[in-house]
Chains A and B, each alone.
Chain A
Amino acid sequence: MLDEARATLAEGLGVAPESLSFTPGGPTGLRLGLEGLRYAARRTGARLVASAVDHSAILLPARHAAAAGGQDLLGQVPVDALGRIDLTAWAAALTTPGTAVAALQSANGEVGTRQPLEQAYQECRRRGIPLLVDATAGLGRDATPQAYDVLVGDARSFAGPAGVGLLVLPPRTRWRLPGPPTELEGGRVDIEPVLPLVLGAAQAWVHTVAAREADARAARALIDTIRTAASAIPDTEVVGDPVDRLPHVVTCSFLLADGESLVTELDRRGVAVASGSACTSSTLEPSHVLAAMGALTHGNIRVTLPLESVTPTRADGVAALVSALPQAVAAVRAQLESR
């Protein structure tokens, strides 16, 4: 049964079943993927090049290692106001001696912006630097990336269960973990996959991709209505690329509002959204994605649309958000003004 699920998912991703391993989640997949690339390339060096908006599972350990190592172990490539990497800066970062590995997301899960993967991969290939592509934000909802040496996904992005990461290692990729090889998942993971979760992931994949194009088209139109409605509110920024983006994700920033109150105010009106604001996170540090883009990190709301097959009322939810948003923002701003 595990083999069947693996075959289904591998076929969907366009790879051989032997190239696909299951990890206990997307972030673990990212960590393992990177660790194996780095160890296999240890004679070249230990430096990682990644974008400033990549996943915390990639950036935080690398920043920690760079701080502890006291050497140039991390090259962070800046992004523009839309959240997209500058390819010239990407290429320049790769030329720094000791660069062994590169990582780049296919698209950003907070603001939706897609990265120029093909070009970024060509720059890596030219220099013989392996590229890990993080597709955890959009796998199944958007076209599957083809330009990579390691691909990592998370079943949650295609409405599968939490706890299933996908680690894709084509035979051409030089990848090895330190220490003796494990007995599991082609020697790549030391935790056995949980069968019911993997079966759920395979089933979710089949359902998601069967309706992908129609669902993405509808989601894209719904996100556009949110973008338009939010833009009409004064002192508001809709963050991320309006067109070259994931179909189902958007973040809006409202000046002089706080995200937590906004989420509460919307909730009171029967609309559920998330906030990515600095003031609602336990660390008080602003979102590294919004900060790297130079975007406002307070007064944020983030919408990640579910699949229509999972939440048939999603269009109603968007309509409710669009109608409640102007008044909710005005109410939160008025509350704040009086403080």
Chain B
Amino acid sequence: MTPPDADDAGRADQVTVDARGLRCPLPVLRLAQALAEHPPGTVVRLLATDPAARTDVPAFARMRGLLLLEVQSGGAHTAYLVRAVSATEPAAAPPTPAAAAPGMPHAAPPARPATSGEA
């Protein structure tokens, strides 16, 4: 697995969205906004520390028919590579969250303190 910080952010067809320190659902919101702002086919590289993103990014991709190309974990954050599928291209099944979850170290705590709701 590639380390999360492998630098290929300079590619023209790829944009990086830094959602580190943001709590759900903001990482997924930032990802949705980036996909909407860029032409179809753009790969969005989302960086997130929120543990809920491990489940929510794959679920978002499934619900919107996006391709989750890769999940890179192992560092302080996790990188998710997501691409919108063009109209002529069939959507592939994204990897299941179970495949990515075991053995993954816990992400760094978010910048803001947790508000307690229903515990």
Choose the segment among A19-27, A126-134, A147-155, A254-262 that binds chain B (4+ C-beta atoms closer than 8 Å).
A254-262
Taking CB atoms, residues of chain A closer than 8 Å to B114 are: 282-284
Choose the segment among B55-63, B70-78, B79-87 that binds chain A (4+ C-beta atoms closer than 8 Å).
B55-63
Query: Which residue of chain B is the closest to A258 with respect to CB atoms?
Result: B25
Is B110's CB within 8 Å of the partner chain A? yes
Contact A275 B118 (CB under 8 A): yes
Contact A298 B28 (CB under 8 A): yes
Contact A296 B26 (CB under 8 A): no
Is B116's CB within 8 Å of the partner chain A? yes
User: Knowing A78-B98, A275-B117, A275-B118 touch, does A336 contact B29 (C-beta < 8 A)?
Assistant: yes
Query: Which residue of chain B is the closest to A290 with respect to CB atoms?
Result: B55
Taking CB atoms, residues of chain A closer than 8 Å to B117 are: 259-260, 263, 275, 279-282
Interface residues on A, range: 35 or more
Taking CB atoms, residues of chain A closer than 8 Å to B58 are: 294
Taking CB atoms, residues of chain A closer than 8 Å to B32 are: 256
The contact string, 1 if C-beta is below 8 Å from chain B, for chain A 282-303, is 1111100011101111110000
Q: In the complex, which of the residues A260, A263, A282, A296 contacts B60, with contact meaning CB atoms closer than 8 Å?
A: A296
- A252–B48 alpha-carbon span in the complex (Å): 24
Is B9's CB within 8 Å of the partner chain A? no
Contact A297 B59 (CB under 8 A): yes
* Residues from 174 to 218 in A contacting B, C-beta threshold 8 Å: none
Q: In the complex, which of the residues B52, B96, B109, B118 contacts A298, with contact meaning CB atoms closer than 8 Å?
A: B52
Taking CB atoms, residues of chain A closer than 8 Å to B55 are: 278, 286, 290-291, 294-297
Minimal beta-carbon separation of B52 from chain A (angstroms): 4
Q: In the complex, which of the residues B24, B29, B63 contacts A278, with contact meaning CB atoms closer than 8 Å?
A: B24
* Residues from 131 to 185 in A contacting B, C-beta threshold 8 Å: none
Taking CB atoms, residues of chain B closer than 8 Å to A290 are: 55
User: Knowing A275-B117, A296-B59 touch, does A284 contact B51 (C-beta < 8 A)?
Assistant: yes
* Residues from 313 to 339 in A contacting B, C-beta threshold 8 Å: 336-337, 339
Contact A294 B59 (CB under 8 A): yes
Contact B28 A297 (CB under 8 A): no
Most chain B CB inside 10 Å of its own CB: which residue of A258, A276, A292, A294 = A294
Is A15's CB within 8 Å of the partner chain B? no
User: Knowing A278-B52, A339-B26 touch, does A295 contact B119 (C-beta < 8 A)?
Assistant: no
Is A274's CB within 8 Å of the partner chain B? yes
- A128–B56 alpha-carbon span in the complex (Å): 39
Is B2's CB within 8 Å of the partner chain A? no
* Residues from 59 to 113 in A contacting B, C-beta threshold 8 Å: 78
Taking CB atoms, residues of chain B closer than 8 Å to A260 are: 115, 117
Residues of B within 8 A of A (CB): 23-26, 28-29, 32, 50-52, 54-56, 58-60, 62-64, 96-98, 101, 109-110, 114-119
A-B contact sample (20 more), CB < 8 A, given A278-B51, A285-B52: A52-B98, A237-B63, A256-B32, A258-B24, A260-B115, A263-B117, A274-B118, A275-B118, A278-B56, A279-B24, A281-B118, A281-B119, A284-B50, A286-B54, A286-B56, A294-B62, A296-B55, A298-B25, A299-B25, A336-B29
Query: Can you spell out 16 A-B residue pairs with CB atoms less than 8 angstroms apart?
Result: A235-B64, A255-B25, A256-B28, A256-B29, A278-B24, A278-B52, A282-B119, A283-B114, A285-B51, A286-B52, A294-B58, A294-B62, A294-B98, A296-B60, A297-B24, A299-B25
Residues of A within 8 A of B (CB): 52, 78, 235, 237, 253, 255-260, 263, 274-286, 290-292, 294-299, 336-337, 339
8 closest cross-chain pairs (CB), A and B: A280-B117, A278-B52, A298-B25, A298-B24, A296-B59, A286-B52, A291-B55, A282-B119
